[in-house]
């Protein structure tokens, strides 16, 4: 038996995650998902991408190391 409308609930969860009021784990539990990958897919559907400037800088450093070795 479902006690809430899914779409408004999911929008509320997505908004709370976007505003940093929920963690990935809290989001996973609220949505009843078993894996982080399911949460990632949910966030992508709501156009929420967890790619920070720090992630970018780490990726660029790794890219530069790879090309320095192979270049």
What are the residue boundaries of the structural domains of the chain, listed by start?
6-70
Which pLDDT belongs to residue 70?
65
- State the pLDDT at residue 51: 79
Choose among 39, 45, 44, 11: nearest CA to 27. 39
- End-to-end CA distance of the chain: give it in Å, rounded: 60
Q: Is the pTM of this model over 0.85?
A: no
- What is the residue-level pLDDT of the chain in tens, covering all 71 positions? 455 567 999 999 999 999 999 999 999 999 999 998 999 999 999 999 887 888 889 999 999 998 887 65
Per-residue pLDDT at 69: 72
């Amino acid at each position: 038996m479902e006690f809430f409308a899914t779409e408004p609930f999911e929008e509320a969860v997505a908004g709370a995650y976007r505003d940093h009021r929920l963690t990935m784990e809290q989001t996973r539990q609220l949505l009843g998902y078993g894996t982080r990958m399911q949460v990632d897919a949910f966030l992508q559907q709501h156009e929420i991408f967890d790619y920070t400037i720090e992630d970018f800088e780490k990726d660029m450093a790794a890219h530069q190391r790879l090309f320095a070795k192979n270049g």
